Amino acid sequence: MNRLNLFYISAFLPLLLIIYLNIGWPFAVVVPIYAFVLLLIKKDRLPFRHQARHFQMILGLLVSTGSFFVYYALVPLFKSPALYGGVNYAVYILGLFLIFFEFSATREAIAPAFLLVATSSTSFMSQWLEHHFSGYMPHYLALIVAILNGLGISATHYSNVIVLYTAEGPLSLGFAWACLGVHSTLIFLIMLVVTLLEESVDLRTKLVWGVAGVFGTFLMNVIRLVIIFVADFFYGASVGGKLHYFIGYVLFTLWLAIFFYSFSKKQVLSNKIVAIWQKLRSVAGRERGEV
């Protein structure tokens, strides 16, 4: 088994532990898997890297082994840190690079490590945003109520409560900050930033796709809430509550797949068009030379 294959097998194995420990929370699984995908994208660059020296390999072994004990360093900072989650995996990946490649190759670990650490910090980001922007929640509820009324569902809102006028009578549903989908939005935005930074495309393309990603995520959250309230209206709060648990994960994963697939296909098409245009220019140049 060559060095590169051993590196990727070693990088993949902790994902099994992450899936086992976090199977009930898809975000905790999707992000590390995506970080591994970012590593796979770099596969063509790594064979040209020299092997690590012995001292660096020992340091890498210590770092990768220590990644399994990061939990104890996070306990004072987080209320309920994962026993093995994104931060652990980020440290582990850094250790693997130190084991298998020259030190300069650790720059290839920056994108997946940043993704893992940043997404693990979204709870702090959400708390900061709540402190500064929770006053705008009634405006968001007004948008949801307008859509529900447009669908023929009688609804009103006051403060942070939406009232659905069902056949059995009014149904009041409290609306918390977490219901806005801020957490999933932050995770998607971090994944979006990392992906666009890794792509060798011009700034204008990155900005256009960035805006599309933000708008699409906002729209997906609106759709999520409308689906939940429609379920509440027709089937009761118990059914809506069950739907509330998983519909966000389903829509988020679907939107993530659609967005990045569309982005990758667009880039492939753009590269083909550029290649064809360059070929045509080359042929035209030769013909003018012959004339």
Q: What is the pLDDT of residues 99-122, one digit of tens each?
A: 999 999 999 999 999 999 998 888
Mean pLDDT of 23-34: 82
In the prediction, which pLDDT does 116 show? 92
Query: What's the whole-number average pLDDT of the chain?
Result: 83
Residue 154 vs residue 133, higher pLDDT: 154
Structural element, H or E, at residue 173: strand 169-174
- Residue 233 has a CB neighbour count (10 Å cut-off) of 22
SS3 8: helix
Top pLDDT among 246 and 149 is at 149
**pLDDT value at position 282?**
62
With contact defined as beta carbons under 8 Å apart, do 153 and 230 qualify? yes
Q: Is the dihedral of CA 199, 205, 207, 212 positive or negative?
A: negative
**pLDDT on residue 196:** 80
Give the pLDDT of residue 206: 80
Residue with tokens 């995996």: 89
Of the pLDDT bands very low, low, confident and very high (cuts 50, 70, 90), residue 21 is confident
162 phi/psi in degrees, rounded to 5: -105, 135
Q: So what's the pLDDT on residue 273? A: 47
Q: Give residue 145's pLDDT band: very low, low, confident or very high (50, 70, 90).
A: very high
- DSSP helix/strand/coil, 118: helix
Secondary structure class of 155 (helix, strand, coil): strand
pLDDT, tens only, 149-195: 999 999 998 888 889 998 888 888 888 887 787 887 888 888 888 88
